[in-house]
């Protein structure tokens, strides 16, 4: 795609770039219409729409001055903070492509992203600068390293110093809606991460999907952004914020503290918030102990499976709020299905229905549609579907086989059209010729009062091929638990062949940055032992 640079001479014709429907123009619009309203709050400091526009444009000018052009990739290795958003907007103003980095990655993993994306610029911060220096040394391909907060290293550029430079040299660049806005690398649980190319069209479809799922709201709404911004659930949360022009409260990363979260929600007057189920579990417990006066009208969850126990606690703890289930994946920008608040109680456990922007089918391995009630893979088309995987034609071809995007999610549909996730296709256990869906077993385990968290994996077995193994975290106050203790509960809720054949007690389940349990790690630690298992 060739960038179109508008003339700087005066003209009576409205420039084409001003008509584009993407978040840069939305920020510009709010900066013009409501310049002094707060756009973002972080650690009690607010940035107005005018300042957000000015700072992102100043950053774009600084990047342009250092050779960043349309289509270039800019690595973003930052914790949650306002500068993250400014830097993304600044890169997009040039038609450049931000590449968010999971800051929990090792230098080798980040080096792969640098090499794969071809990024020559890194934007980071003081705490992460040593990690990025290691990456820079190992790849030898990073020309420019920008540090938010500065660290005094002459080899690094200070972010605020760049913004203080003359921004007037920034050309007006037309960025069409089908331009790649982000390269979001998947978690890579089955191999090397793949970079999903998300366009501005994808992000606007996400904005409309999110707004459509909510209660409409008011201009005074406050949206809390809790997930890591380097994750699609965090970064895409700004799409509806910028579309509507409401205030976003960015929550810092770090050890999750439910009481601190509730205090912030109360102080900021948050009206909508998304969290992963493990966070909601802690927040519900803390709210029951010390209730806060909250303004929440919309509560939502996703990124990892939620048990019926957690969903019931959310409904009971926040009865005034719409409890919305948001389901999807990075490649879909990310939301594909929503369970609306009005159906949260009667359809508990469902991921809802496919959103209006998405076309979906539930198919068998031969791409034949399955009947209602039968299990199949959900496949997608729609304006929020990624352009493909960055420099990975084989991965793209595999994902789009048959002309549809293959999600890898196994679902079933009830008679009213509501969908239920049965499992990830790759996580299904086949034991003695019978399919065992891990999510089903996990849901039963979560309902046991002695279990706080649970994950089910397959383990090789000489007789059955594979058998389920439960890895669990005990509930507070529970010191021990055995399979014999679980047997009455399992007998009541599961067929015998679905029962876990081993029980592993752990202090915590390994999770990635999006809150998903890292099952490959569990399989590595507990999936290869077959001694002593029951037949």
Beta carbons within 8 Å of 180's beta carbon, 6+ residues apart: 71, 97, 197, 198, 199, 387
160, 168, 324 from 85: Cα distances, Å: 14, 21, 25
CATH number at residue 481: 3.30.300.30
CATH number at residue 221: 3.40.50.12780
pLDDT of res. 534: 46
Rounded to whole angstroms, how far apart are CA atoms 76 and 230? 8
State the pTM of this model.
Answer: 0.83
213, 234, 372, 411, 413 from 417: Cα distances, Å: 17, 29, 8, 12, 6
Q: Domain containing 504: what range?
A: 428-526
Examine the domain organization and report whether 459 and 405 are in the same domain.
Answer: no
Examine the domain organization and report whether 228 and 267 are in the same domain.
Answer: yes
Examine the domain organization and report whether 404 and 271 are in the same domain.
Answer: yes
Examine the domain organization and report whether 245 and 338 are in the same domain.
Answer: yes
Examine the domain organization and report whether 258 and 308 are in the same domain.
Answer: yes
Of 425, 455, 482, the residue that ends a domain is 425
Q: Identify whether the C-beta of residue 307 lies closer than 8 Å to the C-beta of residue 447.
A: yes
| Total domain count, the chain | 3
Q: Identify whether the C-beta of residue 144 lies closer than 8 Å to the C-beta of residue 120.
A: yes
pLDDT of res. 529: 58
pLDDT of res. 431: 81
Quickly count: other Cβ atoms within 10 Å of residue 151's Cβ.
Answer: 16
What does each of the 535 residues of the chain score in pLDDT, given as a tens digit?
A: 444 444 443 445 667 888 999 999 999 999 999 999 999 999 999 999 999 999 999 999 999 999 999 999 999 999 999 999 999 999 999 999 999 998 878 788 899 999 999 999 999 999 999 999 999 999 999 999 999 998 889 999 999 999 999 888 899 999 999 999 999 998 654 457 899 999 999 999 999 999 988 877 788 999 999 999 999 999 999 999 999 999 999 999 988 899 999 999 999 999 999 998 888 989 999 999 999 999 999 999 887 667 778 888 999 999 999 999 899 999 999 999 999 888 888 888 899 999 999 999 999 999 999 999 999 999 999 999 999 999 999 999 999 999 999 998 999 999 999 999 887 666 778 787 677 878 888 988 999 999 999 999 999 887 777 899 999 999 999 999 999 999 999 988 887 888 999 999 999 999 876 677 888 889 889 987 544 454 4
Examine the domain organization and report whether 421 and 448 are in the same domain.
Answer: no
pLDDT of res. 383: 96
Examine the domain organization and report whether 384 and 432 are in the same domain.
Answer: no
Of 116, 144, 175, the residue that ends a domain is 175
CATH number at residue 18: 3.40.50.980
């Amino acid at each position: 795609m060739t960038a179109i640079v508008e003339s700087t001479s005066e003209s009576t014709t409205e420039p084409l770039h001003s008509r584009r429907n993407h978040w840069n123009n939305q920020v510009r619009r709010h900066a013009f219409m409501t310049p002094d309203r707060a756009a973002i709050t972080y650690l009690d400091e607010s940035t107005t729409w005018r300042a957000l526009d000015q700072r992102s444009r100043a950053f774009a000018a600084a990047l342009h001055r250092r050779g960043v052009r349309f289509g270039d990739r800019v690595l973003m290795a930052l914790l949650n903070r306002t500068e993250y958003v400014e830097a993304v907007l600044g890169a997009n103003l040039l038609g450049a492509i931000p590449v968010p980095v999971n800051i929990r990655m090792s230098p080798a993993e980040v080096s792969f992203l640098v090499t794969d994306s071809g990024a020559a610029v890194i934007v980071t911060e003081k705490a992460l600068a040593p990690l990025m220096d290691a990456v820079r040394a190992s790849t030898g391909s990073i020309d420019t390293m920008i540090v938010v907060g500065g660290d005094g290293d002459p080899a690094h550029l200070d972010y605020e110093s760049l913004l203080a430079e003359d921004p007037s040299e920034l050309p007006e660049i037309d960025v069409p809606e089908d331009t790649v806005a982000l390269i979001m690398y998947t978690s890579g649980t089955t191999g090397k991460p793949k970079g999903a190319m998300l366009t501005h069209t994808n992000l606007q479809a996400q904005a409309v999907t999110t707004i459509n799922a909510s209660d409409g709201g008011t201009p005074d709404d406050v949206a809390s952004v809790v997930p890591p911004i380097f994750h699609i659930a965090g970064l895409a949360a700004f799409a509806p914020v910028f579309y509507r022009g409401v205030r976003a409260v960015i929550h810092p990363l770090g050890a999750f503290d439910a009481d601190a979260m509730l205090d912030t929600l109360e102080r900021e007057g948050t009206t909508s918030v998304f969290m992963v189920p493990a966070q909601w579990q802690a927040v519900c417990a803390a709210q029951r102990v010390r209730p806060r006066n909250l303004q929440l009208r919309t509560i939502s969850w996703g990124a990892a499976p939620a048990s019926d126990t957690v969903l019931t606690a959310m409904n009971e703890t926040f009865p005034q709020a719409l409890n919305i289930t948001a389901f999807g994946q990075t490649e879909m920008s990310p939301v594909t299905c929503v369970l609306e608040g009005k159906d949260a109680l009667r359809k508990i456990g469902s991921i809802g229905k496919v959103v209006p922007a998405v076309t979906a089918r539930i198919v068998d391995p031969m791409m034949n549609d399955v009947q209602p009630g039968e299990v199949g893979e959900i496949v997608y088309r729609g304006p929020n579907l990624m352009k493909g995987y960055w420099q990975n034609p084989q991965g793209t071809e595999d994902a789009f086989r048959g002309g549809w995007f293959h999600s890898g999610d196994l679902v079933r549909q009830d008679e009213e059209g509501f969908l239920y996730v049965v499992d990830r296709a790759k996580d299904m256990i086949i034991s003695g010729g019978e399919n065992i869906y891990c999510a089903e077993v996990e849901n039963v385990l979560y309902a046991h009062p002695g279990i706080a968290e649970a994950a089910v994996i397959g383990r090789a077995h000489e007789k059955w091929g594979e058998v389920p193994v439960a890895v669990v975290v005990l509930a507070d106050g529970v010191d021990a638990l055995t399979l014999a203790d679980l047997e009455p509960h399992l007998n009541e809720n599961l067929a015998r062949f679905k029962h876990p054949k081993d029980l592993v007690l752990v202090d915590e389940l390994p999770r990635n940055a999006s809150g998903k349990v890292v099952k490959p790690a569990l399989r590595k630690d507990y999936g290869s032992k077959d001694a002593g298992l029951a037949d």
